[in-house]
């Protein structure tokens, strides 16, 4: 799992992913994020960076980075269990312009309800 600390680099958002395996990934990540109160929204999209012609899968988050390393480890474990042998998924914390851009192409699969209760798995 790769956590991207370089939110200033240009990211091209290509659209969200769908399908049964992706829905299960979104479900499991949503359950985890419901206990991570610093994350308000999450998107699962394909991205492309200026330096790379190959699209990547990215978990794009809106919220604080205070627990970023643990979050990356847990989400990485979920991803590897569902997609063994697949290339890593990136984690990107979105800045305001990126939030506006990704909202044109995708809907968040996770939106915090602001409660202090974790959803059961």
121 versus 74: which is more confidently predicted?
74
* Residue extents of the structural domains in the chain: 2-81+94-111
Residue 99 CA to residue 102 CA, distance in Å, equals 5
What Å distances lie between residue 85 and 37, 79, 82, CA to CA? 30, 10, 10
At residue 110, the 3 state secondary structure works out as strand
pTM, to two decimals: 0.85
Residue 104, pLDDT > 90, answer yes
Least reliable range by pLDDT among 4-8, 26-30, 68-72: 4-8
Task: Calculate ∠ Cα 18-44-26, nearest 5°.
Answer: 70
61-102 pLDDT, tens digit per residue, is 999 888 888 999 999 999 999 988 888 889 999 999 999 999
3 versus 27: which is more confidently predicted?
27
Closest CA to 29 of 85, 108, 101: 108
Residue 49: pLDDT band (50, 70, 90) is confident
**pLDDT value for 41:** 95
Task: With beta carbons less than 8 A apart as the criterion, state whether 20 and 28 touch.
Answer: no
């Amino acid at each position: 799992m790769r956590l991207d600390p370089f939110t200033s680099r240009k990211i091209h958002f290509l659209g969200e992913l769908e399908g049964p395996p992706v829905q299960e990934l979104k479900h499991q990540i949503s359950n985890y994020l419901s206990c991570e109160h610093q994350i308000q929204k999450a998107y699962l999209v394909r991205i492309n960076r200026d330096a790379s012609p190959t699209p990547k899968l990215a978990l794009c988050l809106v919220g604080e980075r205070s627990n970023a390393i643990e979050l990356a480890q847990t989400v990485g474990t979920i991803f590897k269990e569902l997609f063994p042998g697949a290339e890593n998924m990136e984690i990107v914390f979105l800045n305001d312009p990126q939030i506006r851009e990704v909202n044109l192409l995708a809907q968040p699969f996770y939106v915090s309800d602001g409660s202090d209760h974790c959803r059961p798995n």
